[in-house]
Homo-oligomer: A and B are copies of this chain.
Amino acid sequence: MSRSARLLDLMQMLRRFRRPVTAARLADELGVSLRTVYRDIETLTAGGAPIEGEAGLGYVLKRGFMLPPLMFGEDEVDALILGLRWVAGRGDPGLERAAADALAKITAVLPEEVEDAAARSGLLAGPGGSGAPSLAGIRQAIRAEHKLRLRYTDKKGAATDRVVWPIALGFFEAAEVLAAWCEARRDFRHFRLDRIAAAEPSGQRYPKRRRVLVAEWRLLQGIDGPG
């Protein structure tokens, strides 16, 4: 067994054991000496693996998984990047952060051309994407139950200004959509994110609870029913 294969095996074993595992146990399973296990652990930690060792206890992998070298085609890399961008903008906060971190790790090892090709594939606007306003800002307004001032460009190119109460983000037909109560129209409306030229937080709370608005909107959409 080559050393590199053994290092991967070692990682898998650490992953497998939920409790600390002694170097002796690892050495036994790998068929090498204790000294070699210490060296291997040293090599892995030098390469970034989060392994903790305590005398009298053994080794434990803090958490995580080391992906071995994998070959991906260009379109597969595209899919990876796009999927992560999507999660980075929409998961729960922990998952968003994780997606951003994973994306950073992958792009750090990509040549620039590969990353550029992914950026050009137009399926999704990523978080920093296509001139659309900050998704994070919109999500923050939804969370804070704050009004937003939108500068919106409709299908024909005409620009209007709106004050809206944003309640939900969604995605339909390859377009990202903000569901909101529109003060001008006194009704719910949906705004395509790619047509929002600007979204300024007003700092004002909207006068109804978001929860209530969402329930009304759902009733109207027939989402929970559908009635």
Q: Which residues of A contact B (CB under 8 A)?
A: 4, 8, 12, 15-16, 47-50, 63-80, 82-88, 91-92, 94-95, 97-99, 101-102, 105-106, 109-111, 114, 121, 123, 152, 154-155, 168-173, 175, 177, 179, 182, 185, 187-192, 214, 221-227
| B71 touching A64, Cβ below 8 Å | yes
| A70 touching B73, Cβ below 8 Å | no
CB distance from A176 to the nearest CB of B (A): 9
Cross-chain contact of A64 among B4, B76, B189 (Cβ < 8 A): B76
| A191 touching B226, Cβ below 8 Å | yes
CB distance from A139 to the nearest CB of B (A): 12
Q: Report how many copies the assembly holds.
A: 2
CB-nearest residue of chain B relative to A155? B224
| A172 touching B226, Cβ below 8 Å | no
CB-nearest residue of chain B relative to A50? B71
CB distance from A196 to the nearest CB of B (A): 11
Cross-chain contact of A67 among B109, B123, B190 (Cβ < 8 A): B109
| B68 touching A223, Cβ below 8 Å | no
Query: Top 7 closest A-B pairs, CB basis?
Result: A83-B83, A170-B172, A75-B98, A79-B99, A189-B226, A189-B222, A76-B102
CB distance from A164 to the nearest CB of B (A): 10
4 further contact pairs, Cβ within 8 A, besides A83-B86, A91-B123: A70-B106, A172-B179, A175-B223, A192-B223
CB distance from A106 to the nearest CB of B (A): 7
| B67 touching A95, Cβ below 8 Å | no
Chain B residues, CB < 8 A from A179 = 172
| B101 touching A76, Cβ below 8 Å | yes
Chain B residues, CB < 8 A from A224 = 154-155, 192
| B83 touching A82, Cβ below 8 Å | yes
Chain B residues, CB < 8 A from A95 = 75, 78-79, 82, 121, 123
| B72 touching A102, Cβ below 8 Å | yes
| A190 touching B221, Cβ below 8 Å | yes
Cross-chain contact of A70 among B77, B105, B187, B188 (Cβ < 8 A): B105
Cross-chain contact of A76 among B85, B99, B171, B223 (Cβ < 8 A): B99
